[in-house]
Structure 1
């Protein structure tokens, strides 16, 4: 094991078991507390160690009910020998790290009795837990609280979407538009800055078999986004649905029986016991029942009530998806786009798009993720409505056998759509994704004709999608070719596309308005806000002044109905809708009130309207305030940073999610990899580590690292540290 500058581990081993050993040891050095806590989570042991509040009880019930022995046995039985060996090595490597460093753990878990050695069972549960994160995992509270009428049920609102702001940008460019005539890739996931969804940089090698560098998540064990000698790839969260909700018609005599065709079926009641720390410091057992239909678990929320006549169940297509290790092993070793596509077709990528480029100069986009095998006809035939359930949720009639997902021989995952039916495209110019559907992966060749379960077609794109596509087309104007520095600058210019589109309209409104704006029955002169926006550079960089005024303004303005002069046009999706309808009285009034809101928001807090963004948006590391560039994707930022205003700090801090691991991978004319990257929040979660904030400081200044991928670069690194492990 070698560590180069900024704490990047390079793990070289002779076999898969040894590679897993080094992988775990290196990751634990930076993330041991988070791994240890997630092991508790997937085993349903949070309440025992931290009490039942804060969602711990619901999480424990969910994981104890879903990740049962039969599921784990089935998962393990389908793994290849090298995966079993890697997992065993991972366990041994992690446990060795604990044995050597258990008396000197980071402050977050120092002296904690919940930090324990792990087993291969724990590794399996961690892997499955990640796969169902954006399907059944969105319904943990609803499953834990599900009970027939008459039982006391907690009142919860369902959140049918992943957290706002979680997503990614990606661009792949091909031989026709790059300076080298080879591929060029930008990976820019917008992931959390805390917890187990943090990325960790790592380079893994088995000589002659695999040599890949990139990132894993703290609690996963393969390179998930990265590159090798001939291929680079990244992921963005896909619009595909991972689950469907089934509405069940109940037996009038028994609300735990549901009609299926001409018969009634009994729900299965599963008794769960959760250990909970009590007030005396001891442990009590709390018993709960969860209910299962043949589709999957029953759920209850304010939008999905369990009444005497109707109840709801969730079916998650990734629940029995055991293809992750095989898929990523194949992806890590792929040498061209053909092999990338073949790896994805194993269907172990659970919920993301894949964007890739190769040294031959092919740009590739695919949403070959895992979705239920349903088509538009089945949805149209079987869809039912429910109050307050968003139309994007696929809610089907569970009483009719006709409404079961199709079972295709071409997929080994029960009920999954075959890989051949999923969208993909190859280009020699470019492809792009920013979490909209496959349809507009390139406006030069929209993809159409796929199941709506994967995503929408001919629909309005987000401002962030439009930003990326606009920036790319501008860069390629007049036949210009792209190099790695160009695409780095495209991201780290921190241009605000929303402001580029709409600020002139707002400034014209400012110039045309001379009256105070009534806000909460108080007249507000919005001249100061208008002046701050007029002087803003239309970027969200750390020295940009006035960016915060637009941020709070647009959060209000985006709620105004019918606010555009030119509506969305599927024939011109990148440039529509556009132009704020300032001449419409209701729009004009709404925009002026949004300006007044933003101005008074900051004035009431003593914050200057021309303050720099970096003075208001920062990450604190060991009492050091590090200014952070980037802004809200929903307002039109392509360089995304999401932070809520913190009244205690009087600033946008801490950072929740956004730009995380960013990589720009290309090849020179001779085919040598040029790899550049930055991990915005740095490698280590340990505040004592020199790698707790070092890359964060670089990101603050929009800088990148040159990654030492080749052996000679590793050996020449002035920060090189070497450790040989044997057991």
Structure 2
């Protein structure tokens, strides 16, 4: 009887869920949206690579055009970005989207947006966001079968801003702090002021993988940038390498566009699905690149809860009430079946709280409540000289990222951009903090002028490859760590890419264009790299009793630490070393190198019948009918990260959209670029689905056309949205 009752209840609930899921969702009126589109004066010119050059009368017209054009190439991912910002991703992606929706609810994203959208954003950027949403809406109305969830439409300008607010904290690893708190046991001690937990300048990372792989696809978020001044160029030109390492697909994968308006916008570069503006690139006069930095911008507090009231915590000697709230998150379970989960999203004075068996925690991060990220990027792109660009950066709407800069005047600049909290000395801010005192509750940030930054060094170059800001140019001109408080939590690590760039740029005082590109595509590991140190340690061990391991070690001893296509030792070396280097860089337990070598050697023998498989047979770019070998590897300047699939590393992140900006002696800009796939990144029916892949694999660039006459000389199609 009990069993039948339970079964009956289950099918009743399932029926309710199915009925809920099957409700007719609102449809867009295509005719009405076409009529609204007439207010936007915009033309889309697709060049022979499929890249959209969007010409609008106003900036808002251009935003409308790129919203439509990008939807033509990757509508599904744009929708995922909108759903994530709405806190509705799980309703389409299932349990995988639950953490993202919970984060949106926990940070009270829409409370912040509704309170600040009209006050904190300029009329110009609001018009741009609304226009972009209109462009996406028009495409959706004309392609109703491509909608993932019709009720998400019509999208609004607030939806566009929501995507920026949600994603930017994940670039400084807010997600890893949350993963740490959500572990089965407490990961860190609670620091006491001037107590036994002393301040240490280290780079210990949280264990586990990101909760928000829905954005990153589990890929490393690295990047390279370098700027060379006329004084160090053989031809007197200024050059900027814009070379972010992103996942090759997904919500933070690059899309190339050129945006031009009669209001002064004329910029080419990369943007993410859901973005109406260029995030890094160049205009006629200046350019910038981002690399991910890892300042300590997030703190975790352990709350002292009232034993008589679970919704009160002690703060400065008094019990305070939590701001208790619950979120309802819809999650698709299977097919049309969905369920609504109720989750607590309460706040303390610090920020969102998380209840765990090992304690109640509060999270505080730099930029909480900030919605001006998109405004700052817009102003940076409209700037016409260094002073205007730096004024935009000083908005401080963007809480992190290194920035490399160059311009037509020959200026070069490196900035360790970070919204660094002013913290009380004496606590170990790498550990958890006591939440019962205002001593640990920071509210201010160090001034912009106190951030690590270098402008126009005598050496004539600056660079960053996700490394410490204290190694950005030649020796003697770098900043000194002792001049910065340990409470700031600045990066102290180096990467192989950073070592190599410093060796290459620092060793050449007259860099030609060919050399600048050669250095960008460098495929070697430095003598100072972890790869060298790990193998030196392996070679110092007593010989193994296993004959396969001994054979593998002998092959590794022949490796020249390069990753060219025909290299016979690189495959075994990288397959063995990559999991160890990954664990060191991103947290997690470090595997035993001998056991790993044994496993990788056995895999190569089983798959290929030999250990010395050419690297290009292992390291592959696969897209549609394209299946091609790649040089480069993990943490080389020509960076490639792959998923191990059937004995091959199939590329999924690393070098992707690469943009080279150059200014000649007269200050005229020249530009070239490449994308790992093509402009139609998610449309296998398009000729531009993978047409750039062969050039990418050959380490070559294509031209970027900025003048309309040049675009028309290389024109594939011209049209207006909706035509």
Pairwise CA distance, 1:23 = 1.6
Pairwise CA distance, 1:70 = 2.3
Pairwise CA distance, 1:494 = 2.1
- Relative to structure 1, the CA distance from residue 338 to residue 280 in structure 2 (aligned partners, 3 Å threshold; closer, same or farther) is closer
In the alignment, is the contact (CA less than 8 A) between 1:143 and 1:297 conserved in 2? no
Other-structure match for 1:550? 573
In the alignment, is the contact (CA less than 8 A) between 1:143 and 1:290 conserved in 2? no
- Relative to structure 1, the CA distance from residue 266 to residue 466 in structure 2 (aligned partners, 3 Å threshold; closer, same or farther) is same
Which of 688, 709, 714 matches 2:711? Answer: 714
Query: What is the number of residues matched between the two proteins?
Result: 641
State the TM-score, normalized to the length of structure 2.
0.81
User: Within 5 Å, which residues of 2 pair with 1:184-203?
Assistant: 184-203=239-258
In the alignment, is the contact (CA less than 8 A) between 1:516 and 1:526 conserved in 2? yes
- Relative to structure 1, the CA distance from residue 394 to residue 419 in structure 2 (aligned partners, 3 Å threshold; closer, same or farther) is farther
Other-structure match for 1:262? 317
Pairwise CA distance, 1:260 = 0.7
Instruction: Give, in whole Å, the separation in 1 of the partners of 2:181 and 2:348.
Output: 12
Other-structure match for 2:673? 677
Pairwise CA distance, 1:160 = 7.9
Instruction: Give, in whole Å, the separation in 2 of the partners of 1:501 and 1:297.
Output: 38
Listed one character per residue, the Cα deviations across residues 286-307 of structure 1 (whole Å, up to 9, x for unaligned) are 222232111111135xxxx454
Other-structure match for 1:129? 166
Q: Secondary structure in 2 aligned to 1:184?
A: strand
Is structure 2 residue 20 aligned with structure 1 residue 20? no
In the alignment, is the contact (CA less than 8 A) between 2:521 and 2:637 conserved in 1? no
Which of 525, 541, 552 matches 2:564? Answer: 541
Q: Secondary structure in 1 aligned to 2:607?
A: coil
Q: Secondary structure in 2 aligned to 1:315?
A: strand
Which of 125, 132, 144 matches 1:90? Answer: 132
In the alignment, is the contact (CA less than 8 A) between 1:168 and 1:190 conserved in 2? yes
Is structure 2 residue 47 aligned with structure 1 residue 11? no
- Relative to structure 1, the CA distance from residue 454 to residue 341 in structure 2 (aligned partners, 3 Å threshold; closer, same or farther) is farther
In the alignment, is the contact (CA less than 8 A) between 1:321 and 1:348 conserved in 2? yes
- Relative to structure 1, the CA distance from residue 243 to residue 613 in structure 2 (aligned partners, 3 Å threshold; closer, same or farther) is same
Q: Secondary structure in 2 aligned to 1:27?
A: helix
Other-structure match for 2:21? none
Which of 245, 256, 259 matches 2:300? Answer: 245
Pairwise CA distance, 1:681 = 3.0
Listed one character per residue, the Cα deviations across residues 246-304 of structure 1 (whole Å, up to 9, x for unaligned) are 2222223334321110201122221111223456845443222232111111135xxxx
Root-mean-square deviation (CA), in Å? 3.4
Listed one character per residue, the Cα deviations across residues 400-423 of structure 1 (whole Å, up to 9, x for unaligned) are 11222143xxxxxxxx43322212
In the alignment, is the contact (CA less than 8 A) between 2:63 and 2:131 conserved in 1? yes
- Relative to structure 1, the CA distance from residue 160 to residue 38 in structure 2 (aligned partners, 3 Å threshold; closer, same or farther) is closer
Pairwise CA distance, 1:173 = 1.1
Unaligned runs of 5+ in 2: 1-43, 186-205, 585-591
Listed one character per residue, the Cα deviations across residues 462-520 of structure 1 (whole Å, up to 9, x for unaligned) are 3332121112123x1xx4x123322111122423335999769969997x99x8513xx
- Relative to structure 1, the CA distance from residue 174 to residue 605 in structure 2 (aligned partners, 3 Å threshold; closer, same or farther) is same
In the alignment, is the contact (CA less than 8 A) between 2:92 and 2:149 conserved in 1? no
Which of 335, 353, 356 matches 1:298? Answer: 353
Other-structure match for 2:427? 382
Instruction: Give, in whole Å, the separation in 2 of the partners of 1:499 and 1:382.
Output: 33
Pairwise CA distance, 1:594 = 6.5
Which of 483, 491, 501 matches 1:468? Answer: 501
Which of 417, 424, 434 matches 2:465? Answer: 434
544-553 vs 278-287, which moves further:
278-287
Listed one character per residue, the Cα deviations across residues 137-164 of structure 1 (whole Å, up to 9, x for unaligned) are 44566789999xxxxxxxx966589967
State the TM-score, normalized to the length of structure 1.
0.80
Listed one character per residue, the Cα deviations across residues 74-93 of structure 1 (whole Å, up to 9, x for unaligned) are 33121101111111111111
In the alignment, is the contact (CA less than 8 A) between 2:315 and 2:435 conserved in 1? yes
Q: Secondary structure in 1 aligned to 2:230?
A: coil
Other-structure match for 2:259? 204
Q: Secondary structure in 1 aligned to 2:515?
A: helix
User: Within 5 Å, which residues of 2 pair with 1:468-487?
Assistant: 468-474=501-507, 476=508, 479=509, 481-487=510-516
Other-structure match for 1:31? 74
